[in-house]
Amino acid sequence: MKTEAVLDDIRCRVEAGYPLLFLKTAEEDRWERELAELALEMERGLVTWTITCGLQPPVSGSDQDRPSALRLLADLTEYPDDHLFLVKDFHPWLTDPIVLRRLRDLLPELISRRKTLLFFGPVTTVPLDLAKDSVKIDLPLPDYEDLRDEFNGVMVEMREQHSTSLDLNADEEDRLIKAVMGLTAQEARKAWLRALRGRSELNDEVFTTLISEKRTLASGSDLLEFYDLEENVGDIGGLDQLKDWMSKRADAYSPRAREQGVPLPKGMLLLGVQGCGKSLTARATARLLSFPLMRLDIAALLGAQRGESEKNMRNVLALVESIAPAVLWLDEIEKGFAGVEGDTGGAADATMLRLVGTFLTWMAEISKPIFVVATANSVENLPPEMLRRGRFDELFFVDLPNFEERKHILGIHLSKRGWKTEQFDLDDLARRSDGFSGAELEQIVVTALIDAFGNGRVLSQEELERAWRTTVPLSVTMEDKIFALRNWAQDRCRRATSDSRVTAMLEAEQRNDATRLPVDEDQFVPLPPWAQLANAGQLKAGIVEFIRTEGDVLFPQIQEAMEPYMDIKGDQGLAARSNPNTVLWAGMSQPLCELLCELVSSKRIYIHPTDIERYKSIQKGLRLSILKEPTDEKLLRASWLPSSLRTAPHPVHSARLSRIGRMKLGGS
């Protein structure tokens, strides 16, 4: 509730003759000022009482040297009608039966003489005996407008003292105010003074300093963990689509977006392979938005005693709202909410279902700026409600990094540790580390650094290669899981990464942009020849040129390359005409199959049997029995001959594989 609305409520109740109001606040100064103004507006006298100073202003003739609760109750009758009594920290005396009796005796007089006692402090317990005649009101923390006034005051003060030369625009002011929402006005003042003093310009550090002040707010709950914002979007290698999407969402929190009715973003679900940067993205998102990041411990939430979980969930969500704006991070939700769809059907499942329901309803209804980032490594056990369209703004699939991304990630982790990336052949390392996750690439850098240091050497390419050799990527042991996850995500999630070759091209363009003098458009960096051909509609020539450039290409790599220019996925496959159960590849579109058939039969490209390991390294494959080489034997069942495409014929098998045909088979 806003400060103005609460003051209105108090005014109405005082005017209606309520004799006792219990006002709960930890912000004594601000609310005392607000209530003093209210008394003035209502033309009522205001008297304050504390156990140390008694009633102020004192009533004449009263002994103010020994203030006590009973003295207060005796003296307040001496004051004229139409008075408000601001009684601070009175709760210890409300357990005294004599004080309670005296208070109740006083009620008719208080009502008839329009006097109201405002019990005021951080603790409010309304005794049962007084419940009927009193109202309890939680005095809210300062709202945005209150903080704006405070902020203006702080800026005027600092400018007068020449302790800042900041020249802020509306968006910057807005971010500075939002960064402290959830703090008391006094805490906010102190935080601004500390963060802005001596500054001539704003940077990220200002916001992280301000946000870290909110740490104490989350400390009231065992279920919320507050994270310092150390990583930013620049620390994420690759994931360009996801980063682009996030930046757009960050803009949606600006005052301009509010004015234009842009809805507040709700959040995103990141599904994907372990160690590929989902948690990193959650942390960087908070920094991008300049919101505090709080991780909700779902396991602890569910571990609570029967009946407690829902109450805990409601409390924790209320706490998050009080800290808003904020990023709420639900990590590994498939573990936290495991069993919702399980077949046990027990009480635990029912609780979890209700919890998921409570959470989703809260997410749908929340009007405060809270951005939820949920991360998951698998879809089994994941409540289907969570995946339904409209719950999250977007579901992203975060895959193993592609070549360009691996290079980027290696570069990030070397630079982070102070190494110049130009000294290393990252192309080579990235090429070798196909199937490695971001975390594993970081591990290569870390291991190499430790080894080099331990051996008294300077970090070199050899050290990195040695570390690469000793690292076994998880994708080798988890191949089936990753494969299944990728399949599941294919039509349901947006990819966090755009096509690798397109990325490479964009990056090349950007590099050129940075070094290029402003010249006319005609000199724009060209696409590689194969892409220029494909872009111009010369798909066949584009495919041949691509295979010629790359030398030896797997079918999925052709699909990936051609994706921007044509439909590449579908239910069609290719098989050898000489032995139709020899399947070469599947999961392609009809036009792509037809182009490839034509190119093979016109001998512009050739099929070569290849090592299955190459397909494994790019996490692709067909669920069929494997043929090592083409055979003349009659095959009873469809079998997969892992093959690649080149522009030169195979020395042995070219005759058997010179004619291929289109066939229909399930997905790849």
Considering the complex, state which of residue 238 and residue 435 has its C-beta at the smaller distance from ligand ATP.
238
Please give the backbone phi and psi of residue 660, each rounded to the nearest 5 degrees, phi first: -125, 160
Among all residues, whose Cβ is closest to ligand ATP?
Answer: 438
Binding segment (CB under 6 A) for ligand ATP, from list 12-20, 130-138, 275-283, 363-371: 275-283
| Binder among 208, 274, 351, 497 for ligand ATP (CB under 6 A) | 274
Pick the closer one to ligand ATP by CB: 134 or 498.
498
Q: Can you tell me the distance from the alpha carbon of 230 to that of 481, in angstroms, rounded to the nearest whole number?
A: 31
Return the residues of window 54-83 that contact ligand ATP according to CB under 6 A.
Answer: none
411 binds ligand ATP (CB under 6 A): no
Residue 650 neighbours by CB under 8 Å, 6+ apart: 606, 607, 608, 609, 657
Q: E strands within 222-376?
A: 224-227, 267-272, 293-296, 326-330, 370-376
Per-residue binder mask for ligand ATP (CB under 6 A), 419-458, x = binder: -------------------xx--x----------------
320 lies in the site for ligand ATP, by CB under 6 A: no
Question: Please, which residue, 55 or 280, has the CB nearer to ligand ATP?
Answer: 280
Distance CA 569, CA 667 (A): 9
Q: Which of residues 540-599 bind ligand ATP (CB under 6 A)?
A: none
Distances in whole angstroms, Cα of residue 263 to Cα of each of 50, 254, 255, 269: 47, 11, 12, 18
Structure tokens at 563: 């994706």
Helix (H) or strand (E) holding 172: helix 170-178
Helices 144-160, 170-178: inter-axial angle, 10-degree rounding = 110
Distance, CA of 37 to chain centre: 42
> Which residue, 33 or 417, has its beta carbon nearer to ligand ATP?
417
Sign of CA dihedral 465, 470, 473, 476: positive
Rule CB under 6 A: say whether 409 interacts with ligand ATP.
Answer: yes
Burial class (CB in 10 A: 0-12, 13-18, 19+), 469: exposed
Q: How far is the CB of 441 from ligand ATP (least distance, A)?
A: 7
Amino acid of residue 410: L
Considering only the stretches 169-177, 273-281, 317-325, 338-346, report the one whose residues sit in contact with ligand ATP under the rule CB under 6 A: 273-281
**How many binding residues for ligand ATP (CB under 6 A)?**
18
Instruction: Tokens for 494, please give them.
Output: 């947006």
Of 78-86, 274-282, 384-392, 593-601, which part binds ligand ATP (CB under 6 A)? 274-282
412 is a site residue for ligand ATP (CB under 6 A)? yes
Q: Which is nearer to ligand ATP, 274 or 572 (CB)?
A: 274
Q: Does residue 325 bind ligand ATP (CB under 6 A)?
A: no
In Å, how far from its chain's centre is CA 485?
21
Q: Among residues 551, 658, 572, 562, which one has the least CA distance to residue 614?
A: 551
Contact 109, 76 (CB under 8 A): no
Per DSSP, the three-state class of 125 is: coil
Closer by beta carbon to ligand ATP, 44 or else 406? 406
| Comparison of 415 and 460: residue with beta carbon closer to ligand ATP | 415
Instruction: Point out which span in 113-121, 183-191, 277-285, 526-534 binds ligand ATP (CB under 6 A).
Output: 277-285
Q: Could you say whether residue 267 binds ligand ATP (CB under 6 A)? A: no
Q: Does 236 bind ligand ATP (CB under 6 A)?
A: yes
Residues that bind ligand ATP (CB under 6 A): 236-239, 274-280, 375, 377, 409, 412, 438-439, 442
